[in-house]
Structure 1
Amino acid sequence: MQANSNKPNDNFYNSVDMQELSGETPVGWSATCLDQTICYYLNCDQESSAESDNSDSN
């Protein structure tokens, strides 16, 4: 029996949707904070995914 992976497939994040999110113009402090938080977690997810891919290939 093969273990299920919780990692989303490569098409999980649509690049068009990502560009649409990055094109939004934040208004006010809380919107700017939210925008920075979203970017932070997207970057963390990408780094984690890359590290996972590297460890799988070793």
Structure 2
Amino acid sequence: MADSEKIDPGRFASSLMRELQADDVNHNSNSKKLIFILEFGFFLIFDCMFYQNITAKNF
């Protein structure tokens, strides 16, 4: 897997923070923030499993 194909977790986290800050400015509901947090948590879990899958195949 080429480096360019990997999602940069730092860049993903910073874009997530921008979304949350935009929600603060717009006074959006907390439920929308909760959805972002849940999506972020799911992304981290999936990404870890996927990464372990790739590294396991290399050995």
TM-score, normalised relative to structure 2: 0.57
Paired residues, number = 49
Give structure 2 stretches of 5+ with no counterpart: none
C-alpha separation in 1, matches of 2:27 and 2:17: 18
Aligned with residue 35 of structure 1, among 14, 33, 36: 33
> Which has the bigger relative contact order, CA under 8 A and spacing at least 6?
2
C-alpha separation in 2, matches of 1:52 and 1:41: 16
The structure where helix makes up a greater share of residues is 2
Q: CA RMSD in A?
A: 2.6
Q: CA deviation at 1:12?
A: 8.0
Partner residue in 2 for 1:10 = 7
The CA deviation string for residues 11-54 of structure 1, in whole angstroms up to 9 with x for no partner, is 487343222123231636xx211110111011101110111101
